[in-house]
Structure 1
């Protein structure tokens, strides 16, 4: 909760900066303009199914694509507001991420879990340019670094991969099964598929010509859920796993068929890091098209 208030305060300060900048600079409305953009990105996540159970750790081979559309309004010499819609996927696999010979990673390797999660995000972001532009869009700077922060809502639905031992639960190896409704940790209520995140990051923008900009951007998403990967707390008792599929993903998937198994999945044993929320990160290239502002001709009487 402390982190929630910290990030919320940061967003409010950014919004206040937008209002202050726009008022103080008295930016001529004729110099304001809009742009639309399309982005092609790489998507990763920080959570429980990574090489190290910490935020900086992620596996490059688990990178998946993300695409997005944006609409940006320039309000002031340094300030823009941007709305965005994006779709992408995150993945993780204990077999590939965790080292079975590392004592700290042994339980994660034996957990034997693999997932994917398709995320649809709608965001509202404030962008602060480190180089100002007091001119029209035609005379904007050629190269502009910037930072951004805002708020986003996203929809997600993690799916678990059925391993070779899934036939015992009546599942087909290689299939992906939706996990939220299974309550794989014995929850009385499933977590919500609709969540809030705090996007923040930075990038650089380059002017190709008067109509187009190209940019490179990296952005982190601080979420407030630990279930992007459906792994959070402890292993549940069989009585709390209410279907064969729930028992398989919640317990029996740990019975590996490709090596030695160490008993560690008794009820109450740690399944995930319940005190750490998951993150995802989006890195990519954006192409923006400037919508030329309409200049009203003066009226003579």
Structure 2
């Protein structure tokens, strides 16, 4: 909650100082993990995910976007379709806090004040960084907390559809995958050097993924909420 409070304060500071069109709102949905532990379903939200996001709309077709999302990532081998994972029977639950920044592109012009209904599919990508605790598995399947945290950088790839429900509020549904440059999120590669060789397992050539599926509701504010020439 401390991180969300700081983000909210920062966004309202931007509202005061910026003359551009802004959006601030919430994300609520679910997450699922794809890695060396648990099921391999690509889109199967199981754990609650929630957070805040801010958009700076530079034109009717693109926006700068920032988000902060919290969730628990979960992997349970006996819920996998892979018999070898079912026999191994590992499982974990680990909290992450993700900060993401990048560009959102709409398929069509999205102008809240053109006199008609505004809706469009959109794509979002950029860079993400997720803070997570480090742990590894013992041979009996129990997890050992390393007492340290790491940061997993990644690339968000999001597809969504948004609709202006009024001149002030925008509702959207989106599905977003995060490819990370880390293999440590599920404990398959310990962070501690002395444990790497003896406790590592899985496909060391594939990094971890996780996905967010959910809805966003944003409120628009700032100067006249339309995209006028020279605005």
- Over the aligned positions, Cα root-mean-square deviation in angstroms equals 3.3
Per the alignment, in what secondary structure is the counterpart of residue 138 of structure 1?
coil
Task: Report the counterpart of residue 260 of structure 1 in structure 2.
Answer: none
Q: Would the alpha carbon gap of residues 80 and 241 (structure 1) be closer, same or farther in structure 2, given more than 3 Å must change?
A: closer
Correspondence 1:215 to 2:172: yes
1:222-267 deviation line (CA, Å, top 9, x unaligned) = 101111101149xxxxxx659xxxx9xx4xxxxxxxxxxxxxxxxx
**Contact 1:42 1:283 survives alignment (8 Å):** yes
Task: Report the counterpart of residue 115 of structure 1 in structure 2.
Answer: 92
C-alpha distance in 2, partners of 1:210/1:59? 32
Q: Would the alpha carbon gap of residues 180 and 276 (structure 1) be closer, same or farther in structure 2, given more than 3 Å must change?
A: farther
**Contact 2:47 2:71 survives alignment (8 Å):** yes
C-alpha distance in 2, partners of 1:152/1:219? 12
> Within 5 A, what are the aligned runs for 1:23-38?
32-38=20-26
- Consecutive unaligned residues in structure 2, runs of 5 or more: 1-17, 226-231
Task: Report the counterpart of residue 228 of structure 2 in structure 1.
Answer: none
C-alpha distance in 1, partners of 2:138/2:78? 13
Q: Would the alpha carbon gap of residues 58 and 77 (structure 1) be closer, same or farther in structure 2, given more than 3 Å must change?
A: closer
Task: Report the counterpart of residue 276 of structure 1 in structure 2.
Answer: 206
Per the alignment, in what secondary structure is the counterpart of residue 273 of structure 1?
coil
CA displacement at 1:179 relative to structure 2:
4.3
C-alpha distance in 2, partners of 1:271/1:93? 15
2:66 aligned to 80, 83, 98, which one? 83
Per the alignment, in what secondary structure is the counterpart of residue 110 of structure 1?
helix
C-alpha distance in 2, partners of 1:59/1:84? 20
Task: Report the counterpart of residue 156 of structure 1 in structure 2.
Answer: 132
C-alpha distance in 2, partners of 1:288/1:94? 37
C-alpha distance in 2, partners of 1:232/1:130? 40
**Hey, which of these two has a bigger chunk of strand by percent?**
2
Quick check: which has more Rg, 1 or 2?
1
Figure out how many residues of one structure are paired with residues of the other and give that number: 204
1:73 aligned to 31, 36, 56, which one? 56
**Contact 1:49 1:94 survives alignment (8 Å):** yes
C-alpha distance in 1, partners of 2:159/2:181? 21
CA displacement at 1:112 relative to structure 2:
2.4
CA displacement at 1:59 relative to structure 2:
8.1
C-alpha distance in 2, partners of 1:277/1:206? 34
CA displacement at 1:271 relative to structure 2:
2.7
**Contact 1:51 1:59 survives alignment (8 Å):** no
Per the alignment, in what secondary structure is the counterpart of residue 113 of structure 2?
helix
Q: Would the alpha carbon gap of residues 232 and 161 (structure 1) be closer, same or farther in structure 2, given more than 3 Å must change?
A: closer
Q: Would the alpha carbon gap of residues 201 and 58 (structure 1) be closer, same or farther in structure 2, given more than 3 Å must change?
A: closer
C-alpha distance in 1, partners of 2:128/2:195? 33
Per the alignment, in what secondary structure is the counterpart of residue 210 of structure 1?
coil
